[in-house]
Chains A and B, each alone.
Chain A
């Protein structure tokens, strides 16, 4: 079953005519690691809310087309029905945290799904080790730093063991190492657990390294869809859209333009492999 099918989907927020998402169609296949990039206001967060049913169930507006998550139409299935299929991690972790301890935070989801206590325990251990927060099991989440909160929010979603994960700029508050750790977590979930990933991010350096496919969104539409190596090497195109190209691409683009290197690279790995 296809994790995500988006067909001619459009959405406008109440009291506006502007289609923040405008006639978008795409599929995300089982086990794919897809990233969506685009400038602020391009509609990527809205698209992400629509993919787990927050739109239209919590945020209403004018809908067109439809979205199916593992065959379930998000317009007719409530977010809680979709939560075992697709986990969502939002930009601001504070909107997701509420419990008195990190452990309770992580136990909440699986408890609601009726999971056995020993299995919940196992999942908590696993999720905490993935996000490097073992030491903070008994901590009040609001005493944590921004980055730590984000890691707890991610771990809390992981304990529900969803089949697909949507992440809306999950690393925007983390330090570079933390960003990389989150990407490593996502990669591990993808490679080892076969989880389908849809990641909304500004961090194109990491997308180039980790994702298998990248979509560029602008003014409500998907304007490019391809492998990161191709899409993220189009430096001038990205500048025009308002997406920061990977730093390696930015650097090699200048050299390539002056005929100093044979290609624009998007990762250090590609730069090392480049022969001329």
Chain B
């Protein structure tokens, strides 16, 4: 069976470097999956996801979205299907108002004016940015900017969402609201690829975890299976969610989140 997102033996080497940023990566991702891409800085995660929206084309191998090779599509065409929210929202924000920023994508896709207005309203409400419609994006807080970057992408309703470190540098309340938003998008059936170091985010949202090291995929499984593998956790510079370590300490069912730990503990003690 061919996967929705098909990555076949993809290798990539940046100019002026003497090692492969990606070496022979193969991965299939199905519709509706929420995949966390894990691994240390420099392991190839960002290089890999840049192949999904055509920012990079494979030097060897093949990437296909819904059966069509990214080589046969422009970045603009791919953008209809693949939304990429960059790590640093400052790098993608350019407009003079929140509304303009969010309208840019659908306008470029040639959407009708009324439809744009309706979609922008929806998305601003969804991301709790409606009060900031006329605000200059640069005067928003870090958490608000991150939500704006997300809004500017989901407004075009791409089937696939790539989120590169969506919670990095955000404070508690902003992280909570980002987790909430991504959970809703996942429940709407979006295919989500999450590049993150935030283990609590992974344990709360991801249905699958893929671990990269030195340009290769070294593990692929449920977050629970991945984080239970101590040798892998050590080798890939991951960190076990404390809830999982506590459940091992107290001999209750393996739990990824504080909520499920409390549940396991109640059941285990009965």
Q: Which of A22-30, A46-54, A168-176 contacts B (4 or more CB under 8 A)?
A: A168-176
Q: Is B261 an interface position by the 8 A CB rule?
A: yes
Contacts of A255 in B (CB 8 A): 261-262, 265
Q: How far is the CB of A71 from chain B (nearest CB, A)?
A: 34
Q: Which of A6-14, A108-116, A140-148 contacts B (4 or more CB under 8 A)?
A: A140-148
> Contact at B266–A260, with CB atoms within 8 Å?
yes
> Contact at B173–A251, with CB atoms within 8 Å?
no
Q: Is A40 an interface position by the 8 A CB rule?
A: yes
Contacts of A268 in B (CB 8 A): 242, 245-246, 249
Contacts of A246 in B (CB 8 A): 242
| Given contact pairs A172-B168, A176-B199, A147 touches B258 in the complex (Cβ within 8 A) | no
Closest residue of chain A to B46, judged by CB?
A: A145
* Main SS class of interface, B: helix
State which size class the interface on B falls in: 20 to 34
Q: Is B151 an interface position by the 8 A CB rule?
A: no
Q: Is A254 an interface position by the 8 A CB rule?
A: yes
Residue among B39, B175, B242, B245 with most chain A CB within 10 A: B242
Contacts of B40 in A (CB 8 A): 147, 175, 177-178
Q: How far is the CA of A246 from the CA of B40 in the complex (A)?
A: 22
Residue among B141, B171, B199, B265 with most chain A CB within 10 A: B171
> Contact at A174–B269, with CB atoms within 8 Å?
no
Number of A-B contacts (CB under 8 A): 96
> Contact at A172–B169, with CB atoms within 8 Å?
yes
Q: Is A258 an interface position by the 8 A CB rule?
A: yes
Q: Is A202 an interface position by the 8 A CB rule?
A: yes
Q: Mark A19-62, 1 if CB is under 8 A from B, else 0.
A: 00000000000000000000111000000000000000000000
Q: Is A244 an interface position by the 8 A CB rule?
A: yes
Q: How far is the CB of B232 from chain A (nearest CB, A)?
A: 13
Q: How far is the CB of B139 from chain A (nearest CB, A)?
A: 12
Q: Is B20 an interface position by the 8 A CB rule?
A: no
Q: Is B157 an interface position by the 8 A CB rule?
A: no
Among candidates B168, B200, B269, residue contacting A247 with C-beta atoms closer than 8 Å? B200
> Contact at B197–A247, with CB atoms within 8 Å?
no
> Contact at B237–A175, with CB atoms within 8 Å?
yes
Q: How far is the CB of B175 from chain A (nearest CB, A)?
A: 7
Q: Is A104 an interface position by the 8 A CB rule?
A: no
Among candidates A41, A244, A251, residue contacting B261 with C-beta atoms closer than 8 Å? A251
Q: How far is the CA of A247 from the CA of B239 in the complex (A)?
A: 12
| Given contact pairs A255-B261, A260-B269, A176 touches B237 in the complex (Cβ within 8 A) | yes
Q: Is A271 an interface position by the 8 A CB rule?
A: yes
> Contact at A248–B242, with CB atoms within 8 Å?
yes
Q: Is B224 an interface position by the 8 A CB rule?
A: no
User: Can you list 18 A-B pairs with a CB-CB distance of less than 8 A?
Assistant: A39-B171, A146-B41, A147-B40, A147-B42, A148-B42, A169-B169, A173-B168, A174-B41, A177-B239, A244-B175, A247-B200, A247-B258, A251-B258, A251-B262, A252-B246, A260-B266, A268-B242, A272-B249
Question: Which chain B residues have a beta carbon within 8 Å of chain A's beta carbons?
Answer: 39-42, 141-143, 168-175, 197, 199-200, 237-239, 241-243, 245-246, 249, 258-259, 261-262, 265-266, 269
